[in-house]
Structure 1
Amino acid sequence: MKTEHTNSHVLLASILLTHEFPSFTKVILGVHSIKGDVKDSRQVRKVKSFPHPCYDATEYINDLMLLKLDKPVKQTKTVKCLPLGDTIKYPAAGTSCLVAGWGKTNNIAKTVSDVLRSVNVTVIDRMECNSPKHYNLKPFITRGQICAGSVMKEVADTCGGDSGGPLLCNGALVGVTSFGKNCGMKKFPAMAFFN
């Protein structure tokens, strides 16, 4: 299946607009440090937002949103379109993927990271993720959600502030970070939504 790329849309989590930043009007692309030099970044205005029509903030279901920007964004060395992965097929358990974001670096931190951070996570089988070992059906992890976290001794995870960041498997976007319980805890892997 061929995927058309558009340089005038951004995919992220609905929770960002409904709960965390309800009145934001612009998107800044191509930034590594939110406090540093942004000479290669692009600022564009958000024209319209399209949350998933079946988004449920209580159960974290369909946590996706498409933003339409006021103009197409020129790709640069720091601003790129991500290729879309297979949104029909759940990534296989054991697949190594990458998550990225500017969220907190631990549960105690009061502020988010000022630099973009990324870490490899492993896709965990949805049945296992729903088991007492992890979420114990609270909430119930659906077919549209990807459970990904640490399976080794070293803990790799997303944290508060990472919502809306990409989940990349084999270099393609397969989901966006949605939620987790705390961070850096093997018992509660991060959840991403894809559909």
Structure 2
Amino acid sequence: MSRSWLVCLLAIMACLLASTHGLPLQENPLQEDEKSGGRIVGGYATDIAQVPYQISLRYKGITTPQNAYRHRCGGSIIAEDKILTAAHCIIGTVPSQYKVVAGTNYQTGSDGVITNVKEIIMHEEYFSEFAYNNDIAILVVDPPLPLNNFTIQTIKMATEQPLEGAVSKISGWGTTSPGGTSSNQLLAVDVPIVSNDVCDKDYENFGDETYRITASMLCAGKRGVGGADACQGDSGGPLVVRDVLQGVVSWGNSCALATHPGVYANVAYLRSWIDAKLAQL
């Protein structure tokens, strides 16, 4: 099987799996009557100055070049020309299908700074052995983003695991309920870190045996309570603890369930891969 056919097959499989278990690959279109004051599940409206590392990754289909770019996923600025996002956001696509928008509070319009994606570097072992394993990717953008330490700023990446119970902040333009409409206004939500051992037990009977919590993953959520979580359209975006990027929004069982925390790519665990790729660039 050729590499191109393999990539296409992986993309199709990822889409099918995401539609039933994980956060979907496609963006959720903003409905005409949606108000900007909506809330991410259990969260609150925020300002880009509070999360200046956040970007909107906008996409259009390769067969529909006449269409406008639309919000697909989030991402985090790790250098003036590098973005960290989720592998499931970009698998089976090419750089010309994307624009990165930084310094904006909104997922629509042309405010903020817009730049091009020049190169996509996806983890070679994404989805290996377990679903959404190693769900990480680096985007190289050109021209570089004009960092201003106010609305466009890099974020430090974790080198150590966050403590269980530490409060994390997740931000993005995702849906405000499972399968609902997305928010035009940037939103954030605060949830505690859940240990991988506990999280793995929560997912023990979810889906099939490939849906387990691995070392490349990190969990956060209000167990036994629910009501606060990232949701569809937040994929690829940041999970931050004390101004350090600890996670990348990856997958989960629906959104904000009391029984299943959200699952994130574990930046500290994946840091060696990230650093090796950055060094090559």
Deviations 1:6-50 (A, max 9, x none): 310000001111279986231111111123671xx1111000000
Contact 1:100–1:162 (CA under 8 A) maintained in structure 2: yes
- TM-score by length of structure 2 reads 0.61
1:69 is matched with 141
Distance 1:152 1:37, change over 3 A: farther
Contact 2:147–2:154 (CA under 8 A) maintained in structure 1: yes
- Alignment partners' CA distance in 1, 2:221 and 2:155: 22
Tell me the secondary structure at the aligned position of residue 130 of structure 1: helix
Amino acid of the structure 2 residue aligned with 1:62: N
Give the total of aligned pairs.
Answer: 184
- Alignment partners' CA distance in 2, 1:20 and 1:113: 25
Equivalent of residue 116 in structure 1, options 176, 183, 186: 186
- Structure 1 or 2: larger helix share? 2
- TM-score by length of structure 1 reads 0.86
Tell me the secondary structure at the aligned position of residue 193 of structure 1: strand
Deviations 1:31-88 (A, max 9, x none): 11123671xx1111000000011111761001000000112211132111111122xx
Amino acid of the structure 1 residue aligned with 2:97: F
2:151 is matched with 78
Deviations 1:84-135 (A, max 9, x none): 122xx321211111111111000241x211111111111111111111xx21
Contact 1:49–1:65 (CA under 8 A) maintained in structure 2: yes
1:156 is matched with 228
Provide the alpha-carbon RMSD of the alignment.
Answer: 2.2
- Alignment partners' CA distance in 1, 2:165 and 2:256: 18
Q: How does 1:1-195 map to 2 (within 5 A)?
A: 6-18=79-91, 24-35=97-108, 38=111, 41-56=112-127, 59-76=131-148, 77-86=150-159, 89-109=160-180, 111-131=181-201, 134-136=202-204, 138=206, 139-151=211-223, 153=225, 155-194=227-266, 195=270
Contact 2:224–2:259 (CA under 8 A) maintained in structure 1: no
Tell me the secondary structure at the aligned position of residue 79 of structure 2: coil
